[in-house]
Amino acid sequence: ASGADLFEQEAAPFSLQAIAEGIVQCRRCPIGCNGTRAVMGEGPQTADLMIVGEQPGDTEERENRPFIGPAGQLLDRALGEAGVDRTAAYVTNAVKHFKFAPRGKRRLHQAPTAGEIDMCRWWLDNERALVKPKVVLALGASSARGLLGRTPAIGRERGRALYLPDGTRVWLTAHPSYLLRLDGESREREQGRFAEDLAGLAQLLA
Ligand code: URA
């Protein structure tokens, strides 16, 4: 079944609170059934900017807030340097539960499949319909798939005008966790491109 089929009988949630309650109960995909708690987006419902990540990480699941672990700290710093105020943005994820593989006491991040992202898309679409941002910042390919319904090539499509069917602008860049996995010259280069993309975002919002 595609994501939309699984929600066929559902009425669209009428509030962010209804989505927060709905995702906690959601068992439509294997990640939703793994016993972790769903992490809701946060930020003002009136935000012009919506920031979309992939899925909550270990820290986010424990603290029940999006983007507060190492990737979130990198993101906050880079947004700040670009002059974009994170607290004015609505921050959420394409997938609401944390997918991981247990390794002793640790939980190692696992990427959601395209099918899992597509199933969670109904929640993301409804969240976006309630926030009505002017611009959506998509962090990485999973985020972009959740928004666009296809997996784009970041290298080719970053820094370009992408639009959702309702006209909302999507601005695509790398995921901060990707930057954290690099080192040396490639880390510097990719961080530079990330900073350029966020500077472009700041212009869109100006
Ligand atoms: N990575 C994400 O994509 N989202 C988070 O909330 C945290 C890390």
Whole domain around residue 150: which residue ranges?
Answer: 13-205
- Ligand 1 binding pocket mutation candidate from 68, 86, 93, 143 (most atoms within 8 A of CB): 93
Give the mutation target among 36, 52, 60 for probing the ligand 1 site: most ligand atoms within 8 A of CB.
60
Q: Is the pLDDT of residue 156 over 60?
A: yes
As for how many domains the chain has, the answer is 1
Residue 68 C-alpha to ligand 1 middle, in angstroms?
8
**Residue 141 pLDDT:** 97
- 53: in domain: yes
Residue 3 CA, chain-centre distance (Å), reads 17
> pLDDT value at position 26?
96
What rounded mean pLDDT belongs to the chain? 96
Q: How far is CA 114 from the centre of its chain?
A: 14
Q: How many CB atoms lie within 10 A of CB 3?
A: 21
Residue 2 has pLDDT above 70, yes or no: no
pLDDT at 8: 80
Dist. CA 166–CA 109, nearest whole Å: 33
Calculate how far, in angstroms, residue 146's C-alpha sits from the geometric centre of ligand 1. 14
Q: How far is the CA of 157 from the centre of ligand 1 (A)?
A: 21
Provide the pLDDT for residue 77. 98
Give mean pLDDT, residues 85-90.
Answer: 98
* pLDDT tens sequence across 163-173: 999 999 999 99
Tell me which H or E stretch contains 176: helix 176-181
pLDDT for 1 equals: 54
List, for residues 137-147, the tens digit of each pLDDT value: 999 999 999 99
Give me 186's structure tokens.
Answer: 């490639």
Instruction: Judge whether 185 lies within some domain.
Output: yes
CA distance 145 to 196: 22
Q: How many CA atoms lie within 13 A of 119 on its CB side?
A: 16
Is 4 inside any structural domain? no
- Give 159's pLDDT tier (boundaries 50, 70, 90): confident
Ligand 1 atom showing the smallest separation from residue 71 Cα: 8
- The answer to whether 180 and 195 are in contact (CB under 8 A) is no
Residue 125 CB partners (closer than 8 Å, separation 6+): none
CATH of the domain at 41: 3.40.470.10
Sign of CA dihedral 135, 70, 189, 79: positive
CA 50–ligand 1 middle distance (angstroms)? 14
Ligand 1: centre distance to CA 191 (Å): 17
Determine, yes or no, domain membership for 175: yes
Grade residue 206 by pLDDT with cuts at 50, 70 and 90.
Answer: very high
Q: Is position 7 within any domain? A: no
Residue at 170 is within a domain: yes
* Position 66 in a domain: yes
| pLDDT of residue 21 exceeding 60 | yes
Select from 70, 51, 97, 40 the least CA-distant residue to 177.
70
Render pLDDT for 183-198 as a digit per residue (tens, 0 to 9).
999 999 999 999 999 9
Q: pLDDT of 93-107, one tens digit each?
A: 999 999 999 999 999
Tokens encoding 179: 């930057």
Percent residues over pLDDT 70 in the chain: 99
Residue 1 within any structural domain of the chain: no
Q: Residue 6 C-alpha to ligand 1 middle, in angstroms?
A: 25
> Which ligand 1 atom lies nearest to the CA of residue 54?
3
- Ligand 1-lining residues (CB < 6 angstroms): 53-57, 60, 66-67, 69, 71-72, 93, 177
Question: What is the pLDDT, as a whole number, of residue 135?
Answer: 98
pLDDT reading at 79 higher than 70? yes
Rounded CA-CA distance 31/168 in Å is 28
